[in-house]
Chain A
């Protein structure tokens, strides 16, 4: 049988032909309901727009005050890198490393790699690094916790809101938008479709 355009459901192993999907359509497994693939003709342009916006917003979010806290005439200001650096300062380098990785380094790396991959696909350049970069993206993407951190920020706000005045900095808004664009970038990077395109480019 000709396997071109076929994939097996990752949850239940049933074979499906996804080559007939039209622009904007998604396919779900008919046996277990698992999402299989979605096809968008303009995926590359979209992902380039989302990832480059997200990267700029992350740079902004790392360079300005995130929140400040005022009580009894005293004020303390927090920046995004400090969420990890202060843990280090209190003798928890392991946790500092994990927090930095989950909210800054892994998302930033995934975005840079996604941008490079999509630029290569846009110009139909076949490069040796496409396969390892693709592998790294799909391996790392489960380990970014951008949206989880953002909910953590909101929970912290409610937790301490009554104790003192908390003021949001520029970086807070930048990170909120960054979370949004990050989620959109990942959603645009359909696994089956992207690997089919990488393969087509290399053959």
Chain B
């Protein structure tokens, strides 16, 4: 591993260059399209903060039905038992599977909630954040970006159980509406992470240095 730094940090923007978000090509910032791959070229992601905040709010709204509605319904001997995400975790603890309850709790509750909280904090910090924490905030952003799709575990678990447990009158598992809402939360918050531009935080720090 090697750092290939130039001595003083020289940014692309300070040289009038935009970096293509798709192929990383450097091109004059006044061009419309990337000369290498043809993607739209922007100095910074367009309307990054507004788009990120709008998507975050959408995710928050979707998070309500995702938790209130049942994520799956278990039909045992024709008797339907709906269960919510939290209900499923509680049931697992009651049955003694604490480790698996922890995994589900982590993936379905901790990750989406902390991801939304972290993204809100990052948006706020672009204008108001302390300049000395910008590197930590960049790492925080990379973490939110990385963990995003792991919240889909619970949706996949529902899809698998629905496909696997299908013993006609004895035991059948059906999907609940919360599964769709929860998939929505994951997708919308992944889009939010994608629209956030961490370079805005560094731009802010450079401005405050001057």
Contact = CB atoms under 8 A, between A and B. Distances in A.
Contact of B23 (A6, A31, A76, A138): A138
Contacts of B141: 11
Contact of B1 (A26, A79, A149): A26
A95 B155 contact: yes
B109 interface: no
Question: Interface on chain A toward B: helix, strand, loop, or mixed SS?
Answer: mixed
B22 interface: yes
A12 B4 contact: no
Contact of B4 (A18, A69, A103, A159): A18
B104 to A, nearest CB: 7
Interface residues of A, number: 76
Contacts of B162: 83, 86-87, 90
Interface in A99-139: 99, 102-103, 131-132, 134-135, 138-139
B168 to A, nearest CB: 7
Given A142-B194, A152-B153, A11 B138 contact: yes
A99 B97 contact: no
Contacts of B11: 8, 12-15
B95 A199 contact: no
A192 B21 CA distance: 11
Nearest to B39: A135
A4 B104 CA distance: 47
B interface, size bucket: 35 or more
A94 to B, nearest CB: 6
Interface stretch (B50-58, B116-124, B171-179): B171-179
B68 interface: no
Interface in B127-173: 134-135, 138-139, 141-142, 149-150, 152-157, 159-168, 170-171
B108 to A, nearest CB: 10
B163 A82 contact: yes
B160 A92 contact: no
Given A27-B3, A98-B183, A139-B22, A158 B202 contact: no
Interface string B23-37: 111100000000011
A131 B38 contact: yes
Contact of B9 (A27, A31, A159): A31
B170 A86 contact: no
A84 B3 contact: no
B2 interface: yes
A87 B135 CA distance: 43
A135 B5 contact: no
Given A14-B11, A162-B95, A191 B24 contact: yes
Contacts of B39: 135
A170 interface: no
A21 interface: yes
B15 A15 contact: yes
A21 B4 contact: yes
A135 B21 CA distance: 10
Contacts of A138: 22-23
Given A12-B138, A16-B5, A135 B22 contact: yes
Interface in A53-101: 67-69, 71-72, 74-76, 78-79, 82-87, 90, 92, 94-95, 98-99
20 contacts: A8-B24, A14-B9, A25-B1, A26-B2, A31-B135, A32-B134, A36-B4, A72-B167, A75-B167, A78-B160, A90-B175, A94-B180, A134-B23, A142-B190, A142-B194, A148-B152, A152-B154, A153-B156, A155-B104, A156-B161
